[in-house]
Structure 1
Amino acid sequence: MNPTQHASLDTRQHPAPPLRRLARVLVLLCLAALPLQALGEIRVSDDTGRELVLAQPAQRVVSLSPHLTEILFHIGAGDRLVGTVSFSDHPEAAAELPVVGSAGQLDLERILSLRPDLVLAWQSGNPPRQVARLEALGIPVYRNEPRRLEDLARTLERLSLVTDRQAAGRDQAIALRAGVEALQTRYAERPPVRLFYQIWDQPLMTINDAHLIGEVIDLCGGVNVFGSETALAPRVSREAVLAANPEVIVAGGSGEDNHGWLEDWRRWQGLTAVQRENLFFIPPSLIQRHTPRILEGAELLCQHLDEARARRSEVSP
């Protein structure tokens, strides 16, 4: 046997040199550090129970609602957005994105031109036929419809999964749950306050108890005078509000600093809310847009209801 043959046999019969073994260990460690979805497809259920399957984390996302646009920025996935709808104005970077119509009227050609590998749809806010058309064209669609604050926390977690931003999504969800728990602890025993929450003026619209804002009202110790209505965002008449005679009226507005809707109620001096100066404004993006900033809106609402409770002593006989 010549030296060359001997060397070859020796290599097969003995363990790999230390440097080679080290290289193998390093490769295994790198693989272990990869997120699970990098090693296979991503599966997640949306808010309608549909299973969304992606071969890899989404790289080109189109959002069909301002709240979904904002959520992606919250979880650090704003760089994945290639398009959104009108009124997507928070944070400032969102306003620079290409616009694909409004939430209620989508420009399908514009969406397709952006070549999305994921579309985030608002179940109750987007036209169902247009969303279904996108799916029929082979575009993965995630439908979102948070009705409870816990649903919002899960949205943060799920969207962070499909965009490979799990750490940020987890942190945001933990912070939201902690904030909700803190408000529950602080306001659980406060006396109830009957209120009317106005989300639009013409037509006059409110929300029922199944709406996410309904849970915020309950969290603060409020009682929604139209909470038992069937529709999620029912239309109501001025006469119905006058008959309900709420102790508090809370409104957003057509802008972030437009108090005009509240001023209109001053015409009805017989309303308890008017008599006691319990007309409160909350910027709509803080409570009517379903994002982590809803905690800020909830804080404001809880404070306003405490103001109304304090004013009861001013009118006591």
Structure 2
Amino acid sequence: MDDRDREVCLHDRARRIATLSPGATELTYAAGAGDQVVAVVSYSDYPPEAQQVASVGSHTRIDLETLVGLAPDLVIGWVTGNPAEQLETLEALGMPVFYIEPRDVAGVASAIERLARLAGTEVAGQAVADNFRDTMATLTSRYRDRDPVTTFYQVWDEPLMSINDQHLIGQVIEICGGQNVFGGLSRRVPRIDDEAVLAANPEAIVAGGMGEENRHWLTHWEQYPNLKAVAEDNLFFVPPSLIQRPTPRLMEGTQILCEKLDIARQKRGRS
């Protein structure tokens, strides 16, 4: 069953897999099926060997002619990220499409297991899934019940956007003992403004920026010296690929975020 609750059946294990999002690429490699990937989309940069695989456009506009020419026997689609009409065209051509979009920790592990089953790499995939579950459970046990740290996670800058508690990043904040100041909003990725952040006055601000070393989103908040996160120097950077992609690297991103929020806690006792 895929993440659209559709049953996808193959006569044999998939030998030629097309992954139509960077997250799908990473999850397929994690499932032990990297050698079977014949097509990816732009920004599929992890693991590094994925960058050597043929690209068939971006997740929002797929080069169907090139993709069809690569003759995949399984296409891994993104529920809300790929153009529906293009994936429907692939299905009409007889290509099985398996949609994924993990929205919680359990969903990441499950996606790995299901991809491994389709690819015939169950043993490798199960080991990765089990390690992911165990590591996330350990982090939850270690950090979740510590003193809460009110936290604003900035997922985008223009327009300014955050996440609610149902978003996977919101769940990571909870694992780390954080309290998401916009967690109660109805939209999973709500648009907000500076005034809303100032009113919430979070103890910590966390951002990823548009690149792995790009921290400029955080400097924006330094113009508000009375903001608690600024006054306490709790402006934290987490590389976006470690926390914004629903993949096993979420373990590393969660560990980093938990350590950052612990820094904020430790500052409370200082004079």
SS at match of 2:151: strand
1:272 to 194, 208, 228: 228
Partners of 2:191 and 2:63 in 1: CA distance: 28
Q: Which amino acid aligns with 1:172?
A: V
1:184 to 130, 140, 151: 140
Match status 1:248 vs 2:221: no
Q: Which amino acid aligns with 2:196?
A: A
Aligned residue in 1 for 2:45: 89
| Per-residue CA distance 1:287-316 (angstroms, 9 max, x = gap) | 11111010000000000111111111226x
Gaps of 5+ in 2: none
Aligned residue in 2 for 1:198: 154
The 5-angstrom pairing of residues 289-300 of structure 1 reads 289-300=245-256
Gaps of 5+ in 1: 1-44
2:114 to 148, 158, 161: 158
Aligned residue in 1 for 2:77: 121
2:21 to 59, 65, 77: 65
| Identity across the alignment (%) | 50
Aligned residue in 2 for 1:147: 103
* Structure ranking higher in helix proportion: 1
Shift, 1:70, TM fit: 1.2
SS at match of 1:106: coil
SS at match of 1:71: helix
Aligned residue in 2 for 1:79: 35
Tell me the matched-pair count.
271
What is the root-mean-square deviation of aligned Cα atoms in Å? Answer: 1.2
Deviating beyond 6 angstroms after TM superposition, the runs of 4 or more aligned structure 1 residues are: none
Give the TM-score taking structure 2 as reference length.
0.97
Partners of 1:188 and 1:210 in 2: CA distance: 16
Q: Which amino acid aligns with 2:141?
A: T
Q: Is the 8 A contact 2:209 2:217 kept in 1?
A: yes
Match status 1:301 vs 2:257: yes
Partners of 2:221 and 2:141 in 1: CA distance: 33
Give the TM-score taking structure 1 as reference length.
0.83
SS at match of 1:119: strand
Which is greater in Rg? 1
The 5-angstrom pairing of residues 47-66 of structure 1 reads 47-66=3-22
